[in-house]
Amino acid sequence: MGDYSYKLSGDVVIMDADGAETHHFVHRVGQMNVLRDKSSKTGFVVTMNEMNGGCYTFQAELSGDTLVLPPYTFTTTILSSDGIDISIIDQDENPTMVYTVKASGNGRLNGNMLILRESWNGQQTGNPTVTLRAPEMMILAEKN
């Protein structure tokens, strides 16, 4: 399918052990590569390479005109003030948290745009009582 520049965004809810929720608007940009899986007629390998240095890969399947993203796991960091220019944040007061996330979703190709919707569920690495959920993360990717 090719190489894309992507923007990922959505509301992520973090819940601590006491049930208190905090909302974080997560916005990421980077390069996405969608390559045919040579061992499958309908399979693809997708690589998301974030500008902040994060990178992860997952499998996808084409079903009709829908790209299906079966559940996959990745690790991500969420700054306690995610969505704000990181250069103005005092890191001691706004620590970065690492989360292990299970994602799944689907998408469609519309002209030169790939539009994906994912849902995320996960937990803080090293502290499973802190959970993460994001029912709708949107990825808009434009073909390079």
Give the residue numbers spanning the domain of 77.
2-143
Residue by residue, DSSP assigns 47-63 as EEEETTS-EEEEEEEEE
Provide the CATH number for the domain around residue 98.
Answer: 2.40.160
Alpha-carbon gap, residue 121 to 11, rounded angstroms: 12
Four-residue CA torsion sign, 70, 107, 137, 29: positive
- In this prediction, residue 85 carries a pLDDT of 38
What gap in Å lies between CA 10 and CA 119, rounded to an integer?
10
Q: Global pTM?
A: 0.83
Count of structural domains, the chain? 1
- pLDDT tens string for the chain (144 positions)? 789 999 999 999 888 888 888 888 888 999 999 999 988 888 999 999 998 778 889 999 999 889 999 999 998 888 765 444 333 334 444 456 788 999 999 999 899 999 999 999 999 888 889 899 999 999 999 999
- Rounded to the nearest angstrom, the gap between the alpha carbon of residue 83 and the centroid of all alpha carbons in its chain is 14
